[in-house]
Structure 1
Amino acid sequence: MTDSPMPEIGFGRVAAMFPVKDMERACAFYVGVLGFTKTFENGQPVGFTILKQGKAEIHLTLQKDYKAAPFNIAHIMVDDVDALHELCRSHGLRIVKGLRDQDYGLRAFVFEDPDGNRIDVGQPI
């Protein structure tokens, strides 16, 4: 790094990339259960998909030999964390960290999607 002045760079959208082993199963979960809308897909068979729900955008990439990381890969803010927690529980998803009020001002929990991706969910208290 140099001591030269930092250029003014405007950053745009940043979207999380979720590796998945089975694109059809992943889309069924994110679209059918969580209510995302598919806005783009590429490949035959489909190897890349963009999904949107409200202000959230996620990208799914097909990785047939994928092994999920043992840490959170994304953090999502929601309007009703209790409802999402119940939805995840009712669909048999693994809850990694239970729903509770955190000392940093969020009511939060962590779940695993069908591919084992850990997602931290929060709502301001």
Structure 2
Amino acid sequence: MAELKKARSVLAVRDLRTSVAFYCENLGFAINAEFDGWCFLSRDGIQLMLGHCPDEIPASQINDHSYFAYIEVQGVDGLHKEFLDRGLKSFSAPESKPWGMREFMVTTPDGHRIMFGEDVDSPQRRRSD
């Protein structure tokens, strides 16, 4: 039987250098490889492929659902503090949700949104399991 091994997100970005700097400086990603018009990044088990697409409409202007990832983490409040310490400005504070996750959102320079969440023990979640 086939096995799904891992996932990578592929994102079109208008300014590759600006986006790479954002992911590395603000979110702690590292550059794994660079090719003509591409940069591959990773942090822990998360991998991103950023493609330079200067003529594409940025996610911030499509007036549509622009989330590209929901990343489950351990220590969501610590991650939020790390991002604050790195000087990140475009993100929300962590909130505990009725579906049993504590979450916050980050917006990238192109307007893509990333939700970071941690599973928390809640009565609502226990009822649905």
TM range (shorter): 0.7 to 0.9
Q: Please name the residue that 1:50 is paired with.
A: 40
Displacement after TM superposition at 1:33 (Å): 1.7
Shift of 1:88: 5.5
Q: Does 1:37 align with 2:30?
A: yes
Unaligned runs of 5+ in 1: 1-7
Matched, 1:108 2:103: yes
Match of 1:63 in 2: 53
Greater strand share, structure number:
1
Structure 2: which 5+ residue stretches go unaligned? 121-129
Partner of 2:2: 9
Higher helix share: 2
Supply the AA of the counterpart residue of 2:79.
L
Residue of structure 2 in register with 1:74 after alignment: 69
Identity %: 26
Instruction: State yes or no: 1:92 paired with 2:82.
Output: no
**TM-score under structure 2 length normalisation:** 0.76
Q: How many residues align?
A: 113
Q: How far apart, in 2, do the equivalents of 1:56 and 1:94 lie?
A: 19
- Structure 2 CA distance for aligned equivalents of residues 83 and 21 of structure 1: 31
Counterpart Cα distance in 2 of 1:73 and 1:54: 18
Measure the CA separation in 2 of the matches of 1:78 and 1:51. 18
Q: Summarize deviations over 1:17-52 as a string: whole Å, max 9, x none.
A: 122111111111111121111111110xxx111111
| Alpha-carbon distance in structure 1 between the residues aligned to 2:25 and 2:68 | 21
Distance in 1 separating the partners of 2:110 and 2:80: 18
CA distance in structure 2 between the aligned counterparts of 1:27 and 1:67, rounded to whole angstroms? 16
